[in-house]
Chains A and B, each alone.
Chain A
Amino acid sequence: MRTALLLACALTAVAASAEESVYRELDYPIDNYLPKVEGDMALSGTYPLWKDRTKLDWRMAGNPEENWRLNWKFMDPPFNGAVHGGHFALDRGEDLYKALNRDGRFAACLGAGKGKLRGLRTRYPSYNKELKRVVGLEEMIERCAARQDQVLQNGSYDNSAVSLYMASHSQGLPIRIDVSKGPMKEAFERGRILYHTKAGRLNFACSSCHTHNVGQLVRGTHITTPYGDAAHFPVYRTKYMLQSLQLRIAECNLDSGVQPLRPGSAAYTDIEVFLTALTNGYPVSVPSERD
């Protein structure tokens, strides 16, 4: 049974120097998560069905009542062998990357040890010593490109294309971010709370749909588990062309009546850390396509 509780976040009010609390509601329960993809066993229990992407049950994909249990993994190539917009984006990302990395500065700025891109994607978001906070890969792409006076805004097609190219070097490698201690743990905890914080005109939290109504229908679409999602971003979509994870969060915000934030905002990065930890152990799969 869900219990009613109020979240009192301590914030300094504009007018008073004393600490004021802002009234927020959380969608309970909030603590049944594991920072690895197997954690889905305690949530939707669908993990065994999509764990191995080469062994998906295609009969389920053909059945609208059942296909949500596959966590939409059947939409990710190589199941759909056809060339799609994600492949063109990958080519674009390679060109942009090579132009930016002529002297190796760009890769070093992104944190690629000895210029090696393999595994880089599996370690983001990560703590940045210079900025003294947790950053997402796309935010770093924007920052590192800016050092060479190139505009690659977080969420833009070209930024996501470079991110996709980075991810392609980790194809098949499991996502592996450590949220057990320090600033990453703090970001994970903030992300977990945000994921359960009700907001917007309808007073929905992410969890209102993605945790507490998995498998239910929202206007004809079945909601899937939040586990295992982070590994296929940025993703090719017909409507959004190329969509980073933070733009997906903005889309869900808009669709559920919440004023969206700009990509790279602290709150979205915290949610990205939370969702990425829920994908720990699941292999990077790009370029992928979703409808």
Chain B
Amino acid sequence: MHGSTLVGLFLLALAIPGLASNPPPDAAVDPSAEIKTLAPKVVVKSGRLEWEAHKRDLTPWVTLSHEDRRPTPKPRRVDLNGQLNGDAERGRTIAMSTLKGGCVNCHTLPGEDWPGSVGHLLMSYRKRGNSDAHVYQQIFDPRVFNPNTVMPAFGTFGLLNDQEIRDLVAYLQSLN
């Protein structure tokens, strides 16, 4: 794509509010609601499919629709600036919470009975000897190390902010 076209598209997006992040027409959404994402609700003995608000708005990210023209955010390399300044205890909470990091959905971490097994064991992570900057990048956007990873890019996709990632790094580096 040419730079000038990019600028043009960007200006157009500014001119028409919401265009840049509008979900495609076949998405199950309620455009006027605060949480736009709808979940289907099957009602017994009814010919109508009901919908209810989902627990989280998923409209900012790309869908599987053929009409979805929004690009997937590209892999992003980041630097860890200054002191780590992370709080391991807060990091633990983020790692365990499904609504935040949800790391435990894929990784085994101490003190969780129903971990996932998609990612590596992170039980004694400190022994791995990785730098804080490396771990920060792995959480911010692991595609930089492995373009075909299944691990989400928590920073690039806006799922966790800088401080939250610092807390996670501190937590992992505290696991002896």
Residues in chain A within 8 A of chain B (CB atoms): 2-4, 11, 13-16, 18, 20-25, 27-28, 92, 145, 150-160, 190, 194, 197-204, 208, 212-213, 216-220, 240-243, 247, 250-251, 253-254, 257-263, 265-268, 271
Contacts and interface: CB of A to CB of B under 8 A. Distances in A.
Interface of B: 1, 5, 8-9, 12, 19, 23-24, 26-29, 37-40, 42-49, 54, 56, 58-66, 68-72, 74, 98, 105-106, 114-118, 143, 147-148, 150, 152-153, 157, 159
17 contacts: A14-B69, A16-B5, A24-B71, A27-B150, A28-B148, A156-B46, A156-B47, A156-B48, A190-B66, A199-B64, A201-B157, A219-B114, A240-B42, A250-B40, A258-B61, A263-B40, A267-B64
Contacts of B43: 156-157, 241
Contacts of A243: 42
Contact of B5 (A20, A160, A203): A20
B20 to A, nearest CB: 11
A194 B63 CA distance: 10
A158 B45 CA distance: 6
Given A28-B148, A157-B46, A259-B37, A217 B115 contact: yes
Given A22-B71, A158-B47, A266 B26 contact: yes
Contacts of A151: 47-48
Contact of B42 (A92, A155, A261): A155
> What DSSP secondary structure best describes chain B's contact surface?
loop
Given A260-B39, A262-B28, A217 B117 contact: yes
Contacts of B70: 22
Contacts of B98: 219
A199 B1 contact: no
A241 B114 CA distance: 26
B63 A259 contact: yes
A165 to B, nearest CB: 14
A20 B132 CA distance: 39
Contacts of A155: 40, 42, 49
A106 to B, nearest CB: 14
B63 A199 contact: yes
Contact of A92 (B45, B54, B105): B45
A149 B26 CA distance: 23
B58 A220 contact: no
B21 to A, nearest CB: 11
A216 to B, nearest CB: 5
Contacts of B118: 213, 216-218
A220 B28 contact: no
A120 to B, nearest CB: 21
A269 B174 CA distance: 48
